[in-house]
Amino acid sequence: MNIHEYQAKELLEKFGVATTRGKVASTADEAEAIARELGDVDLATGRVRPNVGLVVKAQIHAGGRGKGTFKDGFKGGVQVVKSPENVREVADKMLGQTLVTHQTGAAGRVVHKVLVGESAEIAREIYFAILLDRAIAAPLIVASTEGGVEIETVAAKSPDKIIREPIDPLAGLQPFQTRKLAKQLGFEQSQTKAATKLFDGLYRTFIGCDCSMVEINPLVVTKKNEVLALDAKFNFDDNALYRHPEIAAMRDVAEEDPREVEASKHGLNYIGLDGNIACLVNGAGLAMATMDIIKFYGGSPANFLDVGGGATEEQVTEAFKILIADKNVKAILVNIFGGIMKVDVIAQGIINAAKTVKLSVPVVVRLEGTNVEKGKQLLKKSGVELIPADDLADAAQKAVAAANPKNQKPNPK
């Protein structure tokens, strides 16, 4: 699950992590009011005092906002401006408009909120992240004096500039570790207290929100000698969301693939891709492997879909509706190895789906496992038009052929 920049900022503030001042606005009026509250405005002239700027940032889940263009031609989803009136004008141009960036695709995303804040004058940029490292089964701090750029680039070019500090999962981050990090990251003595407080707050955010990663890039030292988290990226552990209803409530379904939103309503594990062969599989490993074998025989998977170990007939029916609704889909491959999930349940789900939605594309079905004969008989008796397959390789080849009727013989890559 992703969250907006303003939500990340709210979470950090809750745990006492210093960030630039600012608030989120849904209207141009609100945006102007926030700009006035931010203070450093010369009341006599209505201008922002020298060395302080205001920034208006469009709130969407995609990167590249600053270089993005709105569909009406207005350029830049991040704007540095001079006065509260300017904030109002810019917010008015952004709100309700569609912003296209290199990450949104051509469709772009509608901006419903803007973040209005002070623009920090940066003296130095640092990279600082806390992640759950599976190899050591513990939190790990990864930091670098090379902030503001992708950490992968730093890791490739100058690996010696990356600091790694593992944290004991039971004892937590120790004060000496924060002091050591401050020293290693080149903070001056006058900044150490602010830096260690920020590191400690970030660790408490990481633990308190059940994150798998919190990345601050950049963490900055301003010309006023402040130490601030300027931008934050959060990854949450989905398994732990049940104990953080306030974070679960931050989900913005308008930012997600509608196919995935629909699937999650029915408890289905679905990830949309851009191919034309839809898959319906039980089990995550087998679902991935099914995508792989489609690709191997020259096809292209339209999705990952794991109906899980205990799917019901209704879930299978809903899954079919989602697959059929995808206009790119030219064939569907059902691959079920019944374990906990009985094959006849899946078969009944397919039959029900065929009754409620028109199966407008060929459906290749491969069934194996618990109650397989019962399942096959159900399908046969139902009269639903399906292409049966003997095994996984046969199923994949038939699906690829069905999706590309002109290409009689699918070519292995």
Partner 1 sequence: MSVLVDKNTRLLVQGITGSAGAFHTRQCIEYGTNVVAGVTPGKGGQMFDDKIPVFDTVWEAKQKTNCNVSMIFVPAAFAADSILEAVDADLDLVVCITEGIPVMDMMRVKAQTRGKRTRLIGPNCPGIITPGACKIGIMPGYIHKEGKVGVISRSGTLTYEAVWQLTSRGYGQSTCIGIGGDPIGGLSHLDAVKLFDDDKNTDAMILIGEIGGSAEEEAAAWIKANCKKPVAAFIAGMTAPPGRRMGHAGAIVSGGKGTAAGKIEALKAAGIAVAETPATIADTLIARLKNN
Give the residue with the Cβ less far from partner 1, 2 or 404: 2
The angle subtended at Cα 358 by Cα 352 and Cα 361, nearest 5°, is: 110
Active site (annotated) includes residue 152 = no
Under the criterion CB under 8 A, does residue 286 sit at the interface with partner 1? Answer: yes
Give the residue with the Cβ less far from partner 1, 53 or 64: 64
For residue 160, the cross-strand partners are none
Under the criterion CB under 8 A, does residue 248 sit at the interface with partner 1? Answer: no
Please list the alpha-helical segments (H only) found in 95-242.
151-157, 175-184, 189-208
Whole-angstrom CA distances from 304 to 60, 114, 332, 354 are 25, 34, 12, 21
Q: Which of 337, 359, 374, 376 binds partner 1 (CB under 8 A)?
A: 337
Under the criterion CB under 8 A, does residue 328 sit at the interface with partner 1? Answer: no
Q: Which of 249, 285, 327, 406 binds partner 1 (CB under 8 A)?
A: 285
Shortest Å, Cβ 154 to partner 1: 12
Under the criterion CB under 8 A, does residue 173 sit at the interface with partner 1? Answer: no
Give me the torsion for CA of 337, 340, 344, 350, rounded to 10°. -70
Active site (annotated) includes residue 118 = no
Under the criterion CB under 8 A, does residue 344 sit at the interface with partner 1? Answer: no
CA distance 364 to 347: 12
Straight-line distance from the first to the last Cα atom of the chain, in angstroms, rounded to the nearest whole number? 34
Stretch that binds partner 1, among 11-19, 158-166, 182-190, 238-246 (CB under 8 A): 238-246
Contact pattern for partner 1 over residues 265 through 284, marking x by CB under 8 A: ----x-x-x-------xxxx
Shortest Å, Cβ 368 to partner 1: 6
Under the criterion CB under 8 A, does residue 253 sit at the interface with partner 1? Answer: no
Q: Which of 210, 256, 313, 326 binds partner 1 (CB under 8 A)?
A: 210
Under the criterion CB under 8 A, does residue 85 sit at the interface with partner 1? Answer: no
DSSP assignment string, 330-391: -EEEEEEEESSS-HHHHHHHHHHHHHHS---S-EEEEEEETTHHHHHHHHHHHT---EE-SS
Contact pattern for partner 1 over residues 361 through 400, marking x by CB under 8 A: -------xxx--------------------xxx--x----
| Set 127, 203, 270, 297: catalytic member | 127
Q: Name, in order, each residue with C-beta under 8 angstroms of 217's C-beta and a sequence gap of 6 or more.
A: 127, 128, 129, 147, 148, 151, 231, 233
Under the criterion CB under 8 A, does residue 238 sit at the interface with partner 1? Answer: yes
Q: Which of 16, 166, 175, 339 binds partner 1 (CB under 8 A)?
A: 339
CA distance 367 to 286: 13
Q: Which of 293, 350, 378, 379 binds partner 1 (CB under 8 A)?
A: 293
| Size of the residue set binding partner 1 (CB under 8 A) | 55
Q: Which long-range contacts (CB under 8 A, 24 or more apart) does 407-413 make?
A: 407/298, 410/297, 410/298, 410/299, 411/297, 411/298, 412/296, 412/297, 412/298, 413/295, 413/296, 413/298
Under the criterion CB under 8 A, does residue 159 sit at the interface with partner 1? Answer: no
Residue 159 is given by DSSP the state: G
Contact pattern for partner 1 over residues 119 through 158, marking x by CB under 8 A: -------------x-xx-xxx-----------xx------
Give the residue with the Cβ less far from partner 1, 123 or 340: 340
Residue 86: alpha-carbon gap to chain centroid: 32
| Set 146, 215, 255, 262: catalytic member | 215
DSSP assignment string, 57-119: EE--S-S--TT-EETTS-B-SEEEESSHHHHHHHHHHHTTPEEE-TTT-TT-EE---EEEEEE
Would you tell me which residues interact with partner 1 (CB under 8 A)?
132, 134-135, 137-139, 151-152, 168-170, 207, 210, 212, 237-240, 242-243, 269, 271, 273, 281-296, 301, 304, 306, 309-310, 337-340, 368-370, 391-393, 396
